[in-house]
Amino acid sequence: MNTPSCHAIEPNYNPFINREISVLAFNRRVLTMALNNDYPLLERLRYLCISSSNLDEFFEIRYASLLELAKDPDARTKPDGIRPVDALAQVNETAHTLVNDQYDTLQNIVLPALEDAGVRFLRRDRWTDEISTWVADYFDNELQPLLTPLGLDPSHPFPRLLNKSLNFIVPMSGRDAFGRLGELAVVQVPRALPRIIQLPAMLTGNAHDFIFLSSVIHANVQKLFPGMEVKGCYQFRVTRNSNLFVDEEEVDDLLTALQGELSSRKYGNAVRLEVADNCPDNIADYLLQRFRLPANALFKVNGPVNLHRLSTVPDMVARPDLLFTPYTPSVPAVFEDAGSLECKVCSIFDTLKAQDILLHHPFESFAPVVNFIRQAASDDQVLAIRMTLYRTGSNSAIVEALEQAAKRGKEVTAVIELRARFDEDNNIQQATRLQEAGAHVVYGVVGYKTHAKMISVLRKEVTGLKYYTHLGTGNYHAGTARVYTDFGLITSAADIGRDVNRIFQQLTSFANVTDLEVLWQAPHTLHRNIKAAIAQEAANAQAGKPARIIAKMNGLQQRDVIEALYAASQAGVQIDLIVRGMCSLRPGVAGLSENIRVRSILGRFLEHHRVFYFENNDKPMIWLASADWMSRNLLSRVETCFPIRDPELAKRVFDEALNVYLKDTNSWQLCSNGDYIQQQQDGDTAFSAQQTLIEKHHK
């Protein structure tokens, strides 16, 4: 294997990499997955769509926040401490290049490759007369009745357009039935309409021929303006600030306040304008003025303005050869021995008395977690169930089990984080559902998102009340558990049970308990203990004792932690960081971080678990957490970090979450200058951590 070398860092470097630039670098890596010939074609299309949807969220949240920050001339970004206006300039340049490359990948690589495989997207210049006739009929019967063109004049001002909605601006000439001079109109496309339309196989002779909705409208737009001369038709989309602004200290009911704010999210301030690349400059300038945007907020694109809509194509094409081979998660042996997931021979509580259960998703099934809740709901000895819910998805089996437990008279408490970004509406619905079933529903602590993943089951047994606890690194969402790598620990350890119960007391009442027996908790002890553990490794290294840090997470930005890692590196500690997404730490700098290596790994599954390993003078400690090493996680959220104390389970976590990933030849190396370099591999040396884990759990 040959790893390309990194470029040297400039002399006057900033010791921290800008957060927003690092996020864009992550989206660049996702886009590169669409170029990987080793992946099936429709999966490569998915990666392209993910890169696009990630960028949408970046503009809605991160870029919008930067714009707000830039209003304060004294403000600085964290942790790099530069002026927001300077960060915006860098972001704009990087984002424009990224978008151009996305569309180049679509038009010149992915779509041609799909066509070679028999999946075609037909432009209008390739339509036969038969296709044109079919499209005209489709427009007349399926589209036109739902389209409401809006002429722009003093009595018809520019419409209020939804965030990320598809629209067309249509220049024209002539006079209408009232003698009004027509110049411009806007056509808004309802979100219910499909953006990709499959042509009948009998019409084209090919089973997988598609056209874009935008092409259908372009070809038939004249029908919307009879008697007028249409001079063009240009698609556009505006992205808006989607941050929610709720002053939690000034509202009496957070749920009601959020419900009101959700509707306004669709119409926040504009932050980006996308238009077709054939849109004339005067039309694009007009739109920029309407949305009060500067010139650098304009993105001219060669293709549909919302690439994410192409993500429906894999489900529309019956071509399993163009998709990943289906994968069924394994069931842990402890459940297989019982003959079924319901564990007919014994209850899960009997099993937990003898051993802890560690689950590694998606390689292992999420069903045992669901069944843990179901058994608790149906077990007459279970008195209480307490649980945090951040993202659950609709039709959640876990929420259904909690609902049934409440109806059976058990004390059920659900701490639902209403502010889980873009899941607020679903969480409000789940909260209402559980309240109606008789559960206690609370929304955490004002000013702190509840991001911890915890289940506490209190069971009355012969020996007294006993806690059974689940702690995880990921959400209680059956869908994401199939594609996110996460760990979950189910245990009957009394000290962990007491700690989790104390955290629930904090969340539901006014308990003033911050020092726990075992767990590290944000915002109280997690930040402090992580820094202390890093400092201890530094002290061990200076004393000539074994010292090593390996940490895996989704993001690294918190300045104090980064500075502690720099100090540990200077003390001689060897540090390996596996950071999937953004990373503000600058590795490999002489005299600062020469002993730190940072790699990012992307693959079939989304790397999501947080695992922290400290050598601790030959007495290794392994911690799993719901928290990344980000300021928001460590300082302004409720998070949990828990140890894996069983030696066999600790070895398994080390092997499956750290050691195997350090061997992965698909990784990207973060250079000291902020660039990411992908390792080069050949068939003999290629090694995939995810594929290795798939094979391991199917032996």
In b/e form, how buried is each residue of 103-142, taking b as 16+ CB within 10 angstroms?
Answer: bebbeeebbeebeebebbbbeeeebeeebeebbeebbeee
Cα–Cα distance for residue pair 343/408, rounded to 1 Å = 22
For the chain, the residue count is: 699
Q: Are strands 270-276 and 298-301 parallel, antiparallel or unpaired?
A: parallel
Residue 655: C-alpha distances to residues 666, 685, 692 (Å)? 18, 19, 11
Question: What is the widest separation between alpha-carbon atoms in the chain?
Answer: 90
Nearest residue to 244 (alpha-carbon basis) of 61, 475, 487, 493: 61
Q: How far apart are the first and last CA of the chain?
A: 28
Q: Beta-carbon neighbour count of residue 393 at 10 Å?
A: 18
- DSSP characters for 521-553? EETTTHHHHHHHHHHHHHHHHHTT---EEEEEE
Q: Is 451 an annotated catalytic residue? A: yes
Phi, psi (degrees; rounded to nearest 5) at 61: -115, -65
H-run or E-run covering 382: strand 382-389
Cα–Cα distance for residue pair 264/246, rounded to 1 Å = 12
Round the CA-based radius of gyration of the chain to a whole number and report it. Answer: 27
Q: Which of the residues 361, 451, 477, 608 is marked catalytic?
A: 451
* Chain Cα centroid distance, residue 263: 22
Phi, psi (degrees; rounded to nearest 5) at 494: -65, -40
Residue 169 pairs with which residues in a beta bridge? 186, 234
The catalytic residue positions are: 451
